[in-house]
Amino acid sequence: MTDRFVVSDSSVLAFAPHIVFRFDDVRQKWIILAPERLMLPDEQAVEILQLVDGKTGVSAIVDSLAARYDQAPRELIAKDVTAMLQDLADKGCLAGAGPD
Amino acid sequence: MPARIDPPLALLAELTHRCPLACPYCSNPVNLERAAGELSEQDWRRVLGEAAALGVLQVHFSGGEPMARRDLAALIGGASGLGLYSNLITSGTLGGAPEIAAFAAAGLKHVQLSFQDFTPDNGDRIAGLAGAHARKTRFAAAVRAAGLPLTLNMVVHRQNLDGVPDMIEMALALGARRLEIAHVQYYAWALANRAALLPTRRQLDQATQAVEAAREKLKGVLTIDYVVPDYHGRRPKSCMSGWGRQFINVTPSGTAVPCHAAETLPGIAFPSVRDSSLRDIWYDSEAFNRFRGTDWMAEPCRSCERREIDWGGCRCQAFLLAGEAGRTDPVCALSPDHGIVEAALQQAEAPPPALVYRRYSPAR
């Protein structure tokens, strides 16, 4: 039995093997395909997920979003990003990559 | 008919009705299709291509036991090449590591493996096949060894429901990331065995509590899919998420249906993929438009605030229990036919009769 992966500022995440994150031409939407499951991430989630590459850490993802949305406080962005990534990790869509 | 019809999300490819198991709740029809009537590999390849073009995202290879088909690896490869996310729904009793390696190489994304109970004795008894449980256990190990994600599917009923906590332990021990604890749904073989399978209220409440506690404890480790069965609920299930809204099912002989039980409905000519394209079937066939949306509904569904949540429940259940597919699903407490369900629940409190196993009917 593996332990739950807890997402923190220093985590580096990647899509779990067998998870497909792609653009669907028929629906003109980004989709996540998982075992017997389909998710349609909203615009914000898509923006975050496009930064998940198995190399960029959570704090760097937050920095990059904070630079794009300079009106929003960094702590608020960090909280939202971590919650969203934790939810997808709990669903088995994301897993830790590299040293944590 | 609704103004806009969305493309289907998933194709259920029922490749065959052949299966080494004889489960008395099998969702296959009582009149099973024989091998000679099955679609060819070429037919299936065309269907997969049409499905991808139509917007289908996931294909579930199912049966019967889909591994009874020699061309399964080729079909998985075909699906992968089309960008379809492929899922194998299997009993794990035909083949093992070499077949799984071939499926993984062909691009299979996930395996859903059924178990009939957590003990070999009761599992084999329910499956009607000696040694089935041991084969499944080996199969699960081979799936994990091939690096494929594994879901265990446990069909539950009054003759195994008390073992839910042990089933959860078994799923963890076998390395599953998901566990589906699926209550028997009462169609076809299961309807014939309803008095032997429907759990008592007390059993159900205990199992539900066990699942809720495990979900909390195993968050992020094991996802447990579990829904309280419709007979014991107040409102119907959103059957197939609504008729012709997300799913298209193709039977072994090529009939396209909105759900695997729909062929039991009289007076509907279900189209065949042998002579229609999946696109025509999905958008234009009378069968797929018959119960689409809400226009077909009568009261109490028509004015119900949940009409676009549960879509009137299940058309097959309405027909099987109340004699008419257009009526409200009798499991709904608002249905005028709800007494039928209450009587069945009453009957479940009595000792269960013997099981009737799934078998081919005498040669036609």
Task: Name the residue in chain B with its Cα closest to that of A19.
Answer: B109
Return the pLDDT at A99. 53
How would you write the pLDDT of chain B (364 residues) with one tens digit per residue?
677 899 999 999 999 999 999 999 998 988 899 999 999 999 999 999 999 999 999 999 999 999 999 999 999 999 999 999 999 999 999 999 999 999 999 999 999 999 999 999 999 999 999 999 999 999 999 999 999 999 999 999 999 999 999 999 999 999 999 999 999 999 988 999 999 999 999 999 999 999 999 999 999 999 999 988 999 999 999 999 999 999 999 999 999 999 989 999 999 999 999 999 999 999 999 999 999 999 999 999 999 999 999 999 999 999 999 999 999 999 999 999 999 999 999 999 999 999 999 888 775 4
What are the residues facing A95 on neighbouring strands?
A: A14
Instruction: Identify which of A35, A89, A92 has the shortest CB distance to residue B109.
Output: A35
Judging contacts by C-beta atoms under 8 Å, the chain A residues touching residue B220 are: 4-6, 89-90
- Chain B residues touching residue A38 (CB < 8 angstroms): 9-10, 57-58
Measured in degrees and rounded to the nearest 5, phi and psi for residue B257 equal: -135, 155
Query: B131-161: per-residue pLDDT in tens?
Result: 999 999 999 999 999 999 999 999 999 999 9
Nearest CA distance, A80 vs chain B (angstrom): 18
Measuring CA to CA, how many Å separate B225 from each of B17, B156, B208? Answer: 26, 12, 11
Nearest to A34 by CA among B163, B214, B296, B10: B10
- Tell me the shortest Cα–Cα distance from A3 to chain B, in angstroms: 6
Report the pLDDT value the prediction gives residue A100, as an integer from 0 to 100.
Answer: 44
* pLDDT tens digits for range B71-86: 999 999 999 999 999 9
Say what the pLDDT of residue B150 is. Answer: 97
Helix (H, G, I), strand (E, B) or coil at B235: coil
- Exposure string over B213-225, b if 16+ CB within 10 A, otherwise e: ebeeebebbbbbe
Q: What is the pLDDT of residues B90-113, one digit of tens each?
A: 999 999 999 999 999 999 999 999
Nearest to B340 by CA among B359, B353, B322, B325: B322
Torsion of CA A80, A86, A89, A91, to 10 degrees: -90
Interface of A with B in 25-54 (CB under 8 A): 26-27, 31, 33, 35-36, 38
ipTM of the complex: 0.90
Nearest CA in chain B to A94: B220
B7-32 residue pLDDT tens: 999 999 999 999 999 999 998 988 89
CA A10 to chain B, closest CA, distance in angstroms equals: 19
**CB-nearest partner of B55 from A6, A27, A90:** A27
Q: What is the pLDDT of residue A1?
A: 57
Give the per-residue pLDDT at A98.
66
C-beta atoms of B109 and A31 within 8 A: no
Mean pLDDT, chain A, whole residue set: 92
- Separation between Cα atoms, residue A59 and residue A78, nearest integer Å: 8
- pLDDT tens readout for residues A21-70: 999 999 999 999 999 899 999 999 999 999 999 999 999 999 999 998 88
- pTM of the prediction? 0.94
Contact criterion met (CB < 8 Å) for A36 and B109: no
- Percentage, residues of chain B above pLDDT 90: 92
Asked if residue B11 lies in contact with residue B61, where contact means CB atoms within 8 angstroms, the answer is no
Cα angle, residue B286 at apex, residues B281 and B287 outer, rounded to 5°: 75
**Cα(B85)–Cα(B77) distance, integer angstroms:** 11
- What does pLDDT average to over chain B? 95
How far is CA B184 from its chain centroid? 10
pLDDT of residue A3: 83
* Inter-chain touch B87–A36, beta carbons under 8 Å: yes
CB B219 within 8 A of CB B60: no
Which residue from A2, A4, A27 is facing B219, i.e. has the nearest CB?
Answer: A4
Who among B9, B221, B223 is closest to A1 (CB)? B221
pLDDT for res B30 = 86
Q: B220 vs A24: CB contact, 8 Å cut-off?
A: no
Which of A2, A6, A36 is closest, CB to CB, to B110? Answer: A36
pLDDT of B31:
86
